[in-house]
């Protein structure tokens, strides 16, 4: 089979095209493109079928697992493919690791080291119990997220653009340092003991629930269920589509009840906004995938992220 690979502007990427066996898959084609171009490794490549000129439709993205024959029209043995460079890629686990490592390291620096001297506070710092518990709580949260990244999540996308590392790290590292600065501040005024216990107790319960949600999500792709999206079921997933985001937001609420800083609440609101957007997209995708037609199951009635708001 002869495959012509063009760029979106119509230029031929691989001069003279590529000759592949009739049983070749899209993954074989990606390898062949890499071999010839040297630069574009498979995860950098986005391969689509060409669209008629002027068409406003979205092009069909080639699935790397499928045979190239499935994309050929009729009996011809020629195929034209449009190539897009997605730019340098990084593993999802690497991306997550670096975004969580920042807050895990930065927060204790504010607790353990005399950083406030550089901000003009000369006196001795009295550490309140809530500041110590908040440190444990914070570190447990980010340590858990790193462990989940490597040992729990089963990502469907292997890689993400390198630029996301800088964007996501800027988000987590800046918020982490900002919250740490206020919670560990020498002039910090603690809440009363009961409020601290309620906040941290509730937050911890939500962190454990969040972990359990991630186990349930992991099992959706376990033993023969396939690598695609499934209907999440069990525990809070019987009520909300994105129970993991719900528990994430509530665990930050618990932290904020106990520590009570504006920085912490701002982070929670921004994070809730981001997760709500993602949850709406996930909810829509699952409803589309499981539409109850042609033997497919129908997606059950669920809240999106937080009953009774969405
Ligand atoms: N504080 C914040 O700003 C913030 C923001 C976002 C997330 N988080 C935390 O980080 C955690 C992970 O975030 P995330 O956005 O990666 O969560 P996510 O998209 O819900 O995914 C978690 C894992 O489950 C898989 N998954 C999700 N829905 C599935 C379905 N219906 N069928 C099969 N597999 C499914 C995902 O696969 P895919 O790889 O295919 O998606 C991924 O591997 C969240 O639960 C939350 O605790 C915090």
Determine the residue of 164, 244, 284 to mutate for testing ligand 1's pocket, defined as the one with the most ligand atoms within 8 A of the Cβ atom: 244
The set of long-range contacts for 285-294, using a CB threshold of 8 Å and a minimum separation of 24, is 285/229, 286/229, 286/231, 286/241, 289/228, 289/229, 290/231
For ligand 1, whether the C-beta of 220 sits within 6 Å is: yes
CB atoms within 10 A of CB 237: 20
Question: Over 80: is that where the pLDDT of 74 sits?
Answer: no
How many A from CA of 147 to the centre of ligand 1? Answer: 14
Residue 15, sorted as left (phi over 0), alpha (psi -120 to 50) or beta, turns out to be beta
- Binned at pLDDT 50, 70 and 90, residue 108 comes out as very high
Residue found under tokens 């009570």? 260
- Mode of pairing for the β-strands spanning 18-19 and 2-7: antiparallel
Instruction: Render pLDDT for 183-209 as a digit per residue (tens, 0 to 9).
Output: 999 999 999 999 999 999 999 999 999
Q: What is the mean pLDDT of residues 265-275?
A: 98
Q: With contact defined as beta carbons under 8 Å apart, do 232 and 220 qualify?
A: yes
Helix (H, G, I), strand (E, B) or coil at 157: coil
To test the pocket of ligand 1, the residue of 229, 249, 274 to mutate (highest count of ligand atoms within 8 Å of its CB) is 229
156 lines ligand 1 (CB under 6 A): yes
- Residue to mutate (ligand 1; options 92, 248, 299; most atoms within 8 A of CB): 248
Residue 216 Cβ < 6 Å to ligand 1: no
pLDDT recorded at residue 259: 98
Q: Is 19 helix (H, G, I), strand (E, B) or coil?
A: strand
- Structure tokens of 87? 């730019």
Rounded Cα distance between 242 and 286, Å, is 11
The proportion of the chain whose per-residue pLDDT surpasses 90, expressed as a percent, equals 85
Nearest residue to 81 (alpha-carbon basis) of 121, 47, 31, 124: 47
- Three-class DSSP category at 77: coil
- The residue whose C-alpha atom lies closest to atom 18 belonging to ligand 1 is 244
The least confident of 21-35, 48-62, 215-229, 262-276 is 215-229
pLDDT band at 224 (very low <50, low <70, confident <90, very high): low
The atom of ligand 1 lying closest to the CA of 220 is: 33
Say yes or no: CB of residue 248 within 6 Å of ligand 1.
Answer: yes
**Tally of helices (H runs) and strands (E runs) in the chain:** 7, 6
- Residue 225's pLDDT band (boundaries 50, 70, 90)? low
Q: Mind listing the pLDDT tens digit for each residue in 27-66? A: 999 999 999 999 999 999 999 999 988 888 889 999 988 9
* Whether residue 84 has its Cβ less than 6 Å from ligand 1: no
pTM of the model: 0.89
Both tokens assigned to 142: 């980010």
Name the average pLDDT for the chain. Answer: 94
- Round to whole Å and give the CA distance between 117 and 92: 38
CA of 68 relative to ligand 1 center, distance in Å: 31
Residue 217 CB less than 6 A away from ligand 1: yes
């Amino acid at each position: 089979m002869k495959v012509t690979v063009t760029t979106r502007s119509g230029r031929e990427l691989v001069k003279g095209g590529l000759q592949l066996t009739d049983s070749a898959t899209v993954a074989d084609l990606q390898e062949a493109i890499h071999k010839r171009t040297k630069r574009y490794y498979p995860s950098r490549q986005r391969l689509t079928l060409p669209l008629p000129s002027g068409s406003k439709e979205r092009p069909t993205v080639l699935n790397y697992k499928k045979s190239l024959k499935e994309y050929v029209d009729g009996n011809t043995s020629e195929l034209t493919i449009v190539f897009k460079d997605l730019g340098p890629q990084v593993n999802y686990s690497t991306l997550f690791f670096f975004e969580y490592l920042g807050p895990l390291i930065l927060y204790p620096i504010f607790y353990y080291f005399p950083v406030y001297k550089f901000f003009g506070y000369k006196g001795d710092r009295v550490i309140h119990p809530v500041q110590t518990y908040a440190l444990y709580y914070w570190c447990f949260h980010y340590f858990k997220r790193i462990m989940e990244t490597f040992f729990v999540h089963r990502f469907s996308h292997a890689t993400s653009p390198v630029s996301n590392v800088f964007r996501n790290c800027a988000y987590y590292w800046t918020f982490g340092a900002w919250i740490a600065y206020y919670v560990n501040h020498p002039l910090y005024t603690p809440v009363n003991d009961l409020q601290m216990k309620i906040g941290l107790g509730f937050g911890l319960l939500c962190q454990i629930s969040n972990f359990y949600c991630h186990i349930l999500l992991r099992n959706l792709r376990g033993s023969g269920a396939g690598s695609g999206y499934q209907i999440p079921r069990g525990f809070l997933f019987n009520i909300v589509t994105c129970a993991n985001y719900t528990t994430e937001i509530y665990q930050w609420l618990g932290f904020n009840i106990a520590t009570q800083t504006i920085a912490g609440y701002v982070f929670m609101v921004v994070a809730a906004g981001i997760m709500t957007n993602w949850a709406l997209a996930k909810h829509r995708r699952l409803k589309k995938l499981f539409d109850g037609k042609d033997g497919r199951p129908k997606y059950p009635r669920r809240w999106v992220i937080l009953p009774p708001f969405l």
